[in-house]
């Protein structure tokens, strides 16, 4: 016995060439199915049948995403540096071991916030997926059982019937008229007939072309069959394909990396500069090196993971109250930065409730014969139900005609059928009514059906036609297509003595007439599209429908449809021409799933942040190629698994709310990152300058810690801050370039006032209170001198650091044109008052602070007013030059 191939791909190729008996023998299974003892062994050896969200997003993946980010890595490194400088070597410039504990606490808190929110959203998503999880029929131990698809293992014997979704990769062992669609895998909407015959040993065809294999996600359009499972879960052809596509979604990570690298570049620039300046002025190279490392620690916002994850989690929770489940909270930022939204037409722009409007003869007059023939075709074909057939069958409920259609269905007998496929674009059934010869009814796309016709039928007469002359057809059909209607043709012929159909029978037909359907645009769609345009989100329609139908609906809704590009025309263009075409075109029609994915790839390569709204298996490639994949609660389970966001209502108005929440979350994250990084940069710059000239440190470690704790507490309120309307009006992206520019511009502004405060304290206030300069005083008086200096800078730094948040949180005049939320006001005002008053309490001595005279507060008031004025002027100049604040 040859060894069983271990690779899923090898097993598929190998057993496609082997006969069924060899398959059973080598896998040690029988036609009666696996025994109870074999099932756990097969599951342990080959894995579980889980694909997508619940496979890739297990506890381990969620933990990694919550705690291992570019920001957390930076803070972990700095915690180690802080441990060396503050605890192990105990430098005089440290803030003691509390810094290490604080950084680690922030890392744990930030990861916990994210983990809890994603777990909550994931549980809700799992419930939605589980509610519609598919079940399959299997034969185990000689019994036919109905089990969840996720319980399948390699070796199971699966039974397939019309309408089923293939739950795993199978080697077919028995078929009866089995036709399947593999559009999910190939991107081509063709229907394939399956067989059980082994392929020739020399066959080198692609797996998707193997006629005796059925793949996960394929749809059984007609017939029945059974097969042995060869691959499950992520090891299936579809599973590996989906996993590769999911690796392309990195818009949030790319932005986070950009921000992280800016902080790293500032550190790598500042550390050697500080090291050299400190060493040259102090002459102690070892201590100067430790001081330089401490500067790197002080530059990084310690609350970075907490604030970012809190902003994302709060936005995610807010969306949860607006009929939206955010499975991956990174998608909040992608929502905010999204500038192109790709949607399908059906169900999103239209009501997804197609109605049969007209049933016409060849000259456009109402015809009961055409309706009766169409009704029999839809009633008798064995393929899966579709919206057009449902619309036709709904006519059986027409007032006064219920009995007619009931009798019509009972009178005929079905002999055979040719199911619909995307090559022929028609479906045929062979029927007899017990009185005359068997007859075939064909229903399908107008052009394809007309090309098979030799005659037309009108008012009891049959007339010969020239199939090359389609002028009469266009005269009736084109106007309806241009008006947004979908048109099918109905034809037929007698087939004496036939009981089986073959494709050659679909020729020399008689054209009977047309069916006209209409899927009206949603009333809410035009309003929602207008709001999306106001938010500067460009909507592009990607549909498989006919270009005329798509164009009509889009024109009704105000979507530019002067230029419509079909999938065939798109693929005929060169790569450069496609890049230009996707920018100039808003409506793409007659697309395959693979072409939708290609369009999204081109848009992303053009620098757009792209969202895709889809609900079917054929949308998976596009959803996983987009920056944010969006699905709905009524979608296929695999679509919901692959999505970042699940809408509880398929409505663009819900998406608009998601975009606004994403932009609010992004704005509050940007506030924290930009303001805190620039403030820290200014403080470090001030400390470096002061340490080069002052005979003592400008602030003690406990005072720096207290100042940072106040600032960190304030920053915890930022996720609940108000966001100005114009900050939500346009998409924004993470940009290290804008962060570096912001830090270089506003950081020195705060340093300027720090230096003025140093000068006032060192040369004016302290000498006037103690009767002389620092060098002329005794040791005890020098300590008092330093304490006065520390208190003065502590209060000035505290006030400016808190005010800078209010000044730079908005592009408007703060406190007047734009006010922070009540939570931010409460924390900032309470913190300022409490820490200003603490210098007059017994705790002041323990903190190294001392009471200051009233003259200092006059100076402080003047400094604060000048600081606010200068920041306002600087902000106005910055906005005029760069047109954005953060």
pLDDT score for 107? 66
Residue 610, pLDDT > 50, answer: yes
Residue 536, pLDDT > 50, answer: yes
Least-confidence region, from 279-283, 501-505, 766-770: 279-283
Residue 215, pLDDT > 80, answer: yes
What is the arithmetic mean of pLDDT over 191-206? 77
pLDDT score for 2? 47
How does pLDDT run across 446-479, given as a tens digit for each residue?
888 998 999 999 888 888 887 566 666 777 787 7
Residue 54, pLDDT > 50, answer: no
65/77 Cα distance (integer angstroms)? 18
Residue 69, pLDDT > 70, answer: no
Position 399 confidence tier, pLDDT thresholds 50, 70, 90: confident
pLDDT score for 53? 40
The answer to whether the CB of 852 falls within 8 A of the CB of 795 is yes
- Is the model more confident about 8 or about 547? 547
489/503 Cα distance (integer angstroms)? 18
The answer to whether the CB of 189 falls within 8 A of the CB of 424 is no
18/11 Cα distance (integer angstroms)? 10
Phi-psi category of 181—alpha, beta or left, where left has phi over 0 and alpha has psi -120 to 50?
Answer: beta
E-strand stretches of 715-866: none
pLDDT score for 388? 85
238's CB contacts (< 8 A; 6+ apart) are 51, 184, 185, 215, 216, 217
Query: Three-state DSSP class for 62?
Result: helix
Active site residues: 344
What is the arithmetic mean of pLDDT over 799-805? 88
By DSSP bridging, strand 645-647 and strand 628-632 are: parallel
Alpha-carbon dihedral sign for residues 378, 384, 388, 393:
positive
Residue 372, pLDDT > 90, answer: yes
**Which of 225-234, 395-404, 653-662 reaches the highest mean pLDDT?**
225-234
Query: Three-state DSSP class for 456?
Result: strand
Structural domains of the chain sorted by starting position, each given as residue range(s) with its CATH number in brackets: 60-121+248-318+658-882 (1.20.1110.10), 320-351+522-657 (3.40.50.1000), 355-514 (3.40.1110.10)
Position 664 confidence tier, pLDDT thresholds 50, 70, 90: confident
Q: What angle do CA 411, 417, 418 make, to 5 degrees?
A: 150
**Closest residue by Cα to residue 724 from 649, 804, 821:** 821
Residue 342, pLDDT > 80, answer: yes
Residue 132, pLDDT > 50, answer: no
Tally of CB atoms within 10 A around 117: 23
- Is the model more confident about 516 or about 8? 516
pLDDT score for 352? 60
Taking all residues of the chain, what is their mean pLDDT, rounded to a whole number? 80
The answer to whether the CB of 34 falls within 8 A of the CB of 42 is yes
Could you say which DSSP state residue 775 is in? G
- Is the model more confident about 637 or about 591? 591
- Is the model more confident about 848 or about 221? 848
Alpha-carbon dihedral sign for residues 546, 552, 558, 561:
positive
872/812 Cα distance (integer angstroms)? 9
What is the arithmetic mean of pLDDT over 825-832? 86
Query: What percent of the chain has pLDDT above 90?
Result: 22
pLDDT score for 131? 43
- Is the model more confident about 95 or about 485? 485
pLDDT score for 757? 94
Alpha carbon 396 to chain centroid, angstroms: 42
- Is the model more confident about 733 or about 869? 869
pLDDT score for 56? 43
Q: What is the 3-state secondary structure (H, E, C) of 581-620?
A: HHHHCCEEECCCHHHHHHHHHHHHHCCCCEEEECCCHHHH
624/644 Cα distance (integer angstroms)? 9
pLDDT score for 287? 65
How does pLDDT run across 275-323, given as a tens digit for each residue?
777 677 666 676 667 666 666 666 666 666 677 777 777 777 777 777 7
Residue 487, pLDDT > 80, answer: yes
How does pLDDT run across 71-124, given as a tens digit for each residue?
666 667 766 766 766 666 654 444 456 666 766 776 676 667 666 655 654 554
Q: What is the 3-state secondary structure (H, E, C) of 370-417?
A: HHHHHHHHHHHCCCCCCHHHHHHHHHHHCCCCHHHHHHHHHHCEEEEE
Greatest CA separation for the chain: 126
Tally of CB atoms within 10 A around 60: 8
Spell 61-97 as b/e; 16+ CB within 10 A means b. Answer: ebeebbbebbbbebbeebbebbbebbbeeebebbbee
């Amino acid at each position: 016995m040859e060894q069983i191939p271990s690779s899923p791909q090898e097993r598929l190729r190998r057993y496609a060439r082997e006969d069924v008996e060899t398959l059973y023998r080598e896998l040690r299974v029988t036609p009666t199915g696996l025994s109870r003892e074999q099932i756990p062994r097969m599951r342990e050896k080959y894995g579980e049948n889980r694909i997508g969200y619940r496979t890739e997003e297990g506890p381990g993946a969620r933990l990694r995403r919550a705690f291992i980010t570019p920001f957390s890595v930076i803070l972990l490194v700095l915690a180690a540096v802080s441990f060396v400088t503050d605890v192990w070597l105990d430098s005089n410039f440290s803030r003691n071991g509390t810094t290490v504990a604080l950084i680690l606490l922030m890392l744990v808190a930030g990861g916990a916030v994210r983990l809890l929110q994603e777990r909550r959203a994931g549980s809700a998503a799992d419930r939605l997926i589980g509610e519609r999880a598919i079940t399959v029929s299997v034969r185990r131990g000689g019994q036919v059982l109905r089990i969840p698809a996720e319980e399948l293992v390699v070796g199971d014997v699966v039974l397939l019937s019309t309408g089923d979704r293939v739950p795993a990769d199978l080697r077919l062992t028995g078929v009866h008229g089995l036709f399947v669609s593999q559009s999910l895998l190939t991107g081509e909407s063709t229907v394939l007939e399956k067989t059980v015959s082994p392929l020739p040993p020399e066959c080198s065809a692609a797996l998707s072309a193997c006629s005796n294999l059925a793949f996960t996600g394929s749809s059984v359009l007609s017939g029945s069959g059974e097969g042995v499972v060869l691959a499950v879960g992520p090891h299936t052809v579809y599973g590996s394909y989906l996993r590769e596509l999911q690796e392309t979604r990195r818009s949030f990570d790319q932005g986070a990396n950009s921000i992280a690298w800016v902080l790293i570049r500032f550190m790598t620039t500042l550390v050697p500069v500080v090291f050299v300046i400190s060493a040259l002025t102090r002459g102690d190279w070892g201590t100067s090196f430790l001081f330089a490392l401490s500067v790197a620690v002080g530059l990084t916002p310690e609350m970075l993971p907490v604030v970012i994850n809190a902003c994302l989690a709060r936005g995610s929770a807010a969306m949860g109250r607006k009929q939206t489940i955010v499975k991956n909270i990174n998608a909040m930022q992608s929502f905010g930065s999204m500038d192109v939204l790709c949607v399908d037409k059906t169900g999103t722009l239209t009501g997804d409730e197609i109605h049969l409007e007209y049933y016409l003869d060849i000259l456009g007059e109402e015809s009961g014969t055409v309706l009766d023939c169409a009704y029999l075709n839809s009633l008798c074909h064995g393929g899966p139900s579709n919206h057009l057939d449902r619309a036709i069958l709904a006519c059986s409920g027409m007032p006064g005609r219920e009995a007619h259609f009931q009798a019509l269905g009972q009178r005929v007998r079905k002999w055979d059928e040719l199911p619909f496929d995307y090559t022929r674009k028609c479906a045929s059934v062979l029927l007899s009514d017990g009185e005359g010869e068997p007859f075939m009814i064909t229903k399908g796309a107008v052009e394809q059906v007309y090309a098979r016709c030799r005659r037309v039928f009108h008012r009891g007469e049959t007339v010969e036609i020239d199939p090359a002359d389609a002028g009469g057809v266009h005269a009736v059909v084109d106007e309806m297509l241009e008006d947004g209607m979908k048109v099918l043709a109905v034809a037929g012929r007698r087939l004496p003595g036939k009981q089986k159909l073959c494709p050659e029978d679909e020729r020399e037909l008689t054209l009977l007439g047309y069916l006209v359907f209409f899927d009206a645009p949603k009333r809410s769609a035009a309003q929602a599209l207008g709001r999306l345009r106001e938010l500067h989100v460009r909507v592009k329609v990607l549909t498989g429908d006919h270009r005329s139908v798509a164009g009509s609906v889009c024109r009704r809704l105000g979507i530019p449809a002067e230029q419509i590009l079909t999938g065939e025309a798109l693929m005929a263009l060169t790569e450069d021409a496609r890049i230009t075409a996707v920018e100039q075109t808003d409506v793409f029609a007659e697309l395959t799933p693979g072409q939708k994915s290609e369009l999204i790839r081109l848009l992303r390569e053009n620098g757009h942040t792209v969202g895709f709204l889809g609900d079917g298996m054929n949308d998976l490639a596009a959803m996983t190629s987009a920056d944010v994949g969006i699905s709905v609660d009524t979608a296929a389970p695999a679509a919901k698994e692959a999505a970042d966001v699940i809408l509880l209502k398929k409505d663009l108005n819900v998406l608009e709310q998601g975009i606004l929440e994403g932009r609010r979350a992004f704005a509050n994250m940007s506030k924290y990152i930009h303001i805190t990084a620039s403030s820290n940069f200014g403080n470090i710059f001030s400390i470096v300058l002061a340490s080069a000239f002052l005979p003592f440190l400008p602030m003690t470690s406990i005072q720096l810690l207290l100042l940072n704790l106040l600032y960190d507490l304030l920053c915890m309120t930022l996720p609940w801050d108000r966001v100005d309307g114009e900050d939500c009006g346009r998409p924004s992206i993470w940009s290290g370039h804008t962060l570096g520019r912001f830090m270089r511009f506003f950081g020195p502004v705060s340093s300027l006032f720090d230096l003025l405060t140093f000068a006032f304290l060192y040369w004016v206030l302290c000498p006037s209170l103690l009767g002389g300069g620092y060098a002329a005083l005794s040791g005890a008086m020098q300590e008092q001198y330093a304490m006065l200096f520390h208190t003065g800078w502590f209060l000035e730094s505290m006030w400016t650091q808190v005010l800078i948040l209010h000044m730079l949180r908005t592009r408007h005049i703060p406190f007047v044109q734009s006010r922070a939320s009540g939570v931010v006001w409460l924390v900032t005002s309470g913190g300022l008052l409490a820490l200003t008053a603490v210098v007059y309490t017994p705790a002041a001595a323990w903190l190294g602070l001392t009471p200051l005279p009233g003259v200092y507060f006059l100076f402080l008031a003047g400094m604060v007013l000048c600081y606010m004025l200068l920041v306002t002027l600087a902000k106005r100049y910055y906005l005029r030059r760069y047109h954005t604040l953060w």
